Amino acid sequence: MPEPPRPPLSGDRATGLATLRTLWTVRRFEEAVDDLFARGMMHGTMHLSIGQEASATGVCSALREDDLIASTHRGHGHCIAKGAELVPMMAELLAKDTGYCRGRGGSMHIADAARGNLGANGIVGGGVPIAVGAALAQQRLRTGRVAVSFFGDGATNEGAFHEAANLAAIWKLPVVLVCENNKYGMSFSTERSMAVATIAERAAAYGFPGVRVDGNDVDAVHAAATEAVARARAGEGPTLLECVTYRWKGHSKSDKNLYRTREEIEEWRALDPVTRFERRLVEACPGVGEEDVAAVRDAVRDAVRDAVRQAMAAPDADPADLLGDLPAAVFWQPVGTDARREGVAR
């Protein structure tokens, strides 16, 4: 049976404030890791999604807890929106033994199988066939779960995307392909890297719907994702959802932003998805006032600060254990269960 239509996330006080909390958590978490990196306390590199919070939040809010996602190298927001806890996330980025992957994955390779997060992926387009394969498994096992693949605009020029999209179409797999189109694959503009006007229209080549949505409007993303998830769960196959958005920061920590103008960045900062949703809540959501919004901001600030403190105090990952039981460490809990919440030690 098709799922009944859901109201917008801003339609009621509890859902609206929970959504705002997720948006701010993604924003503040990434600002914190940006600061830690700048102070030399976090190593490697970093791909931030500041400015893109609405796509992760809107899509994951349309999923069940036991649905699956496959993320990208810019995946902090996907992890948080799917329910990841801040302390093990921060610990993972700080190469601590208490991190989600015991400090071995870092920013680009966090997995949280208990919450259906099959992992971030440093290979452009690498998560698409993983999500399609996971969707095939759900179809064969008749679990009723849906898999979502997050990827950027650059991934749609990769062969892995097109092969996976074709298989998802001909087998009518329960998968939603979510493109976060932030206009640049590293420094290469979509206007120069593809001949089609929109990424959504690429779905027509495989015979399934392609939907383009304002990726900075969390209500719009949620509505489109809800429809795509319902279609997938009903056995009608995939949907390509293009969320048009923008990253405020460079591609990675080595990016000097020489390929775009300050004016362009400022234009998109004015479309901030977080403060935009705040305004909508205060102006239109029954029972939500400025004091409620401020309380959410304060709670998120405290939670992120606490995550930093706890993660910094945790033991470092031991290099001698580098080739040890990583799969067991990551996938020790079946999807949909959560022994961590029940206090079971790893």
Crossing angle of helices 53-60 and 273-284, rounded to 10°: 60
Q: What is the pLDDT of residue 331?
A: 61
- Give the closest residue to 304 by CA, choosing from 24, 75, 77: 24
Residues β-bridged to residue 189:
184
Residue 2 within a domain:
no
Residue 292 within a domain:
yes
Residue type, 202: R
How far apart CA 276 and CA 268 sit, in angstroms, is: 12
Residue 20 within a domain:
yes
Q: Strand 188-189 to strand 184-185: parallel, antiparallel, or no bridges (unpaired)? A: antiparallel
In degrees and rounded to multiples of 5, residue 277 shows phi and psi of: -70, -35
How far apart CA 69 and CA 181 sit, in angstroms, is: 18
Residue 6 within a domain:
no
CATH number at residue 70: 3.40.50.970
> Please, are residues 117 and 100 in contact by the beta-carbon 8 Å criterion?
no
291 contacts: CB under 8 Å, gap ≥ 6: none
How far apart CA 210 and CA 214 sit, in angstroms, is: 14
Residue 239 within a domain:
yes
Residue 343 within a domain:
no
pTM of the model: 0.93
How far apart CA 67 and CA 58 sit, in angstroms, is: 15
Q: What is the pLDDT of residue 339?
A: 46
Q: What is the pLDDT of residue 346?
A: 40
106 contacts: CB under 8 Å, gap ≥ 6: 44, 92, 93, 95
How far apart CA 346 and CA 340 sit, in angstroms, is: 8
Structure tokens at 314: 């945790």
**What residues in the chain have per-residue pLDDT under 70?**
1-6, 325-346
> Please, are residues 135 and 175 in contact by the beta-carbon 8 Å criterion?
yes
Q: What is the pLDDT of residue 320?
A: 84
Residue 135 within a domain:
yes
Residue type, 282: V
Q: Total domain count for the chain?
A: 1
Residue 282 within a domain:
yes
* Owning domain of residue 109: 13-320
pLDDT in tens, 233-256: 999 999 999 999 999 999 998 888
